[in-house]
Structure 1
C-alpha cells in the first residue's frame, strides 16, 4: 500500500510498543488462568483480573495471541507487521462481539465493559504498530515518500 510508511524513523519504538502489548496479553492471560483455575472454560461468573472480566477460555486466547505477537516482534522483517495487523482486526471483532453480547447469555468470554475497552485499545495499538513498522528497500521508501508528497 502506497500510503503505509516504509522504514519509518520511529520503527524501533513501534516495534517495542508491539512487544509490550504482546507481553500485556500474556501477563493478563496467565493471571486469568490462575484466577479462573477450577472453573469451566467458558464460565460466566464474577472472575476479574486487572479489573477486567475474564474466564479460562479468554485467558487462554490472550496467552496464545500475546505469544503470537511476541514471536512476530522477535522475528521482525514485516512478519510482525502482518501478525500485528491481522491480530488487531481479530481483536476488534472479538471486542465488538463482546460489546454486542455483554448482557446476554452469549457472553461466553465473560466480558465486562472494561474488558471491551482494553481489548479494543490493544487492537488499536497493534494496528498502529503494524502500520508504522514496515521495513523495505530504499526504493520502496522513496516511492512512499513521493506518494506521500503527492497527497
Structure 2
C-alpha cells in the first residue's frame, strides 16, 4: 500500500488509541455480560449498557473483538495494523447490518441506534489507527515518501 504512511511520527499515539479502543470494547462486553446475566444469548429486550442496546451474544462478541485489538497492540510489528484494519471493516459491516435490521426480528444483537453509531465510530477509529501505525525500515519510509510525491 503505497498510500499508507510508514513510520509516522505520531505512531505511538495511534497505537495507544488502538489499545484504548480495544479496552473500551472489552469493558463494554464485560458490563454487557453483567447487565444481561440470566437472559438468553440473543435476547431482544431492553438491556442497555452505556446507553447502547446489547445482549449476551453481542457482549461476548465485543470482548472477542476487543481482545483481538489488544493482542495486536501488544504484539505490534505491523500485525496490529492488519488486525485493526480488518476488524475496522468487520465492525463497520456489523454496524451497517445492525442498522438495516434494527426494527426487525433479525436484530439478533439487540442493537439500538446509539449502538450503531458507536460501532461505526469505533470502526473508523480502528481504521485510522491501522492506517497510521505502520512500521518499516528507512528504505520503506523513503519509498513511501517517493510514492507519495508522485501521487
| TM-score with structure 1 setting the length | 0.99
Please give the alpha-carbon distance, in whole angstroms, between the structure 2 residues aligned to 1:104 and 1:41: 17
Q: Which residue of 1 aligns with 2:138?
A: 138
Q: Which residue of 2 aligns with 1:126?
A: 126
Q: Does 1:147 find its partner at 2:140?
A: no
How far did 1:149 drift? Answer: 1.2
Q: Does 1:92 find its partner at 2:92?
A: yes
How far did 1:150 drift? Answer: 1.5
CA deviations over 1:13-63 (Å, ceiling 9, x no partner): 000000000000000000000000000000000000000000000000000
Q: Does 1:33 find its partner at 2:33?
A: yes
CA RMSD of aligned residues (A): 0.4
Please give the alpha-carbon distance, in whole angstroms, between the structure 1 residues aligned to 2:119 and 2:39: 22
Alignment coverage as a number of residue pairs: 151
| TM-score with structure 2 setting the length | 0.99
Please give the alpha-carbon distance, in whole angstroms, between the structure 1 residues aligned to 2:70 and 2:18: 8
Q: Which residue of 2 aligns with 1:82?
A: 82
Unmatched runs of 5 consecutive residues or more in structure 2: none
How far did 1:70 drift? Answer: 0.4
Unmatched runs of 5 consecutive residues or more in structure 1: none
How far did 1:123 drift? Answer: 0.3
Please give the alpha-carbon distance, in whole angstroms, between the structure 2 residues aligned to 1:129 and 1:106: 31
